[in-house]
Structure 1
Amino acid sequence: MPGDEIEVPKELREFMLEEAEETILGQKNGALKQYRYGNLHIREYDDKFLVHTDKIDPRVNPIGHLVYDAPEVLIGIACGIFSGINTAKNLSSKNSKKLSIANVLASSLMSGYLAYETTKKIKKHLE
């Protein structure tokens, strides 16, 4: 997420832009709900709102949003696919398709998740 998030305590001021739309796009990070208003991403918690601005609105340009605002998701997906393909190639000579499919799926999920988490930590360190 580019830049810093702004915390707005609910007891200080209960706010919500009338034009903001509730959305499933974005990482909830434990929020009750999340909203978007243009490039503004608002997460609602029990006691506060956390607000930040994305470079690209994912409702307008989802790929651009992944590249500029959420590269960890894109890298995780790419690594998961790459790992799954390589595991499938290595196991293609095996007779048990169930075992092969389970191995491909497990490899893909693990490497995708590890790549996602690693990229997220690097991104946070660079901000």
Structure 2
Amino acid sequence: MPRLDDFLEPLNEGVWEVAIPKESVTVPLDAGWKKSALNVPSPGTIASYRKGQYHVHETKDEWKVHLDRYDPDKHPVMHLLDDAPLLLMIGDTFITLISNMRRDESGDTRKILETQDKEWHLQFITGIFLILAGLDIALDPLGAFLGTMSLIFPMGIVILGILVMFGKLWKTRDEPFIEGDIFRGLVIIVAGVLSFSIPPDFWILIFTAILSLWMFASAIILLKRVRKGRSAVPEGFVSRLAIGIFSLLIVIGSFFTPIYLIAILTLVVGILLILIGIMLVINGLRLRGMMKAPVSG
């Protein structure tokens, strides 16, 4: 009885990705495969799992498996720098959102309609809200960033502190109360209150430094691999070369105009929200169309 692991040998021989039809794998994933919550977005993915450096994306008909260069559990920083550079994550997110907008999932929609006849309202209204929020951010990205960091971010820290403080009070009777959570919660709340007074320039400096360091390190690592030739970059020579060069150029530019790096990335967030909103509106309208159409079977 073939397991998924039986089809992965090509990945150790330089192949970037293998796609295995689901009907070819007759044994469920073993306990070594752990569900992966954070992944670079990819079109058609239902769920993702990891086993060491092996990373599988489950789609409707296939298991798509590739070999990461670093195990995120053992080398989280190197995994982020080499396997998930910032520009790759942004680019793949756009590709996935656009791909999802073009997919036709009428079969899945009919199943939803059997139990959730008002699903389209929720998706449509949420989509409109995200589109408006995205437009607001895109029209004034720097103002949106400063507003978030001066108000929403500190409020989020305070709320987190409250949850840490009182979370243990909501435990069941069998779970012990830990007094240390009160102290930790208070510390977080105080940090949140103090963050209200942090000047905007400080947030710009911090975020620019973090993002620049991430992109610079990714650029150096990727360009070093590209220099070794195509065999060292099985996931895509040209794409990694482009990501490395553009990351380096953005970092250099951020030294002269750090505020524009924040503005550009915040603009990207706004555009992503607009795309997600459009996708939800389209899906909601599809659901509405399915509700009006006769359902067979």
Counterpart code for 1:43: H
Q: CA deviation at 1:18?
A: 2.4
**Aligned to 1:108, which of 265, 271, 274?**
265
Normalised by the size of structure 2, how large is the TM-score? 0.27
> % of aligned pairs identical?
25
> Which residue is equivalent to 2:76?
62
Distance across 1 between alignment mates of 2:15 and 2:39: 16
Alignment check: 8 A CA contact 2:18 2:65 kept: yes
Greater per-residue strand proportion: 1
> Which residue is equivalent to 2:19?
7
Normalised by the size of structure 1, how large is the TM-score? 0.57
Cα 1:85/1:49, change in 2 over 3 Å = farther
Counterpart code for 2:40: Q
> Which residue is equivalent to 1:86?
257
Alignment check: 8 A CA contact 2:49 2:56 kept: yes
Structure 1 regions of 5+ residues with no counterpart? 89-102, 113-127
Query: What does the per-residue CA deviation read over 1:57-107, in whole Å, with 9 as the maximum and x for residues that have no partner?
Result: 112222111233233454388848x6498253xxxxxxxxxxxxxx77542
Q: Give the alignment of 1:17-28 within 5 angstroms.
A: 17-28=30-41
Q: CA deviation at 1:109?
A: 3.6
Distance across 1 between alignment mates of 2:47 and 2:71: 17
Counterpart code for 2:265: S
Alignment check: 8 A CA contact 1:84 1:108 kept: no
Which is greater in Rg?
2
Compute the RMSD of aligned alpha carbons: 3.4
Greater per-residue helix proportion: 2
SS of the equivalent of 2:257 reads helix
Q: CA deviation at 1:55?
A: 1.5
Distance across 2 between alignment mates of 1:62 and 1:19: 19
Report the number of matched residues: 96
Q: Give the alignment of 1:115-126 within 5 angstroms.
A: none
